Amino acid sequence: MIFSIVRINMVFMLVSPNILKVERGRAKMIGIRFIKMAVIYFVIGVSMGLYMSIVHSYTLTSVHVHINLLGWVSMAIIGTVYCLFPAAASTKLAKVQFWLYNIFLPIMMIGLAFVVNGNEALIPAVAVGGTILVISVILLAINIIIHVKPGTNHNVGPNHTTYL
């Protein structure tokens, strides 16, 4: 009986690190997706800035700024947080937040581009996109408040080193 318990515990100890690696890997995927999307927005924002400088037309400055701040900076930070805290990244809340953010940010940005160029018919797109984006950020805040706890979420590698 005791031998069986010891053997089961030894098997669990051999298997569990691999299971934890797989779960951490799945949880990190949402963070990596945010970071990849952030880089796309970075390229778009920088390209817009270059174009505006070349043609000396700064009509789209507000779109450029929003793409860089909400697309590049915010998404890179969100992705990094999710990579560092897999407990928050592995929730349904994180997935919902990811999709809301990534569907409604482009809607807001495209609408804003039309609005600053005089097409006021797309003001509702900007309003709806912006509102859903704020809801997405509130979901992020709730997720972090609930699931990020000291000492239980960090990524620990071999020899108990913390990866940052």
**Residue 118 above 90 pLDDT?**
yes
The number of residues in the chain equals 164
Confidence of residue 154 (pLDDT cuts 50, 70, 90): low
Which pLDDT value is given to residue 87? Answer: 93
Alpha carbons 110 and 153: distance in angstroms, whole number: 37
* pLDDT for position 62: 96
pLDDT digits (tens, 9 = 90+) for 11-52: 333 443 443 344 456 667 999 999 999 999 999 999 999 999
Looking at residue 7, its pLDDT comes to 42
- What's the average model confidence in pLDDT over 157-164? 47
Q: Once rounded to an integer, what is the mean pLDDT over residues 133-139?
A: 98
Q: Is the dihedral of CA 25, 67, 74, 98 positive or negative?
A: negative
What's the first-to-final CA gap in the chain, in angstroms? Answer: 43
Residue 8 has pLDDT above 70, yes or no: no
> How confident is the model at residue 28, as a pLDDT?
75
E strand intervals along the chain: none
Structure tokens at 160: 């108990």
Tell me the per-residue pLDDT of 72-110, one tens digit each, with 9 for 90 and over: 999 999 999 999 999 999 999 999 999 999 999 999 999
pTM: 0.77
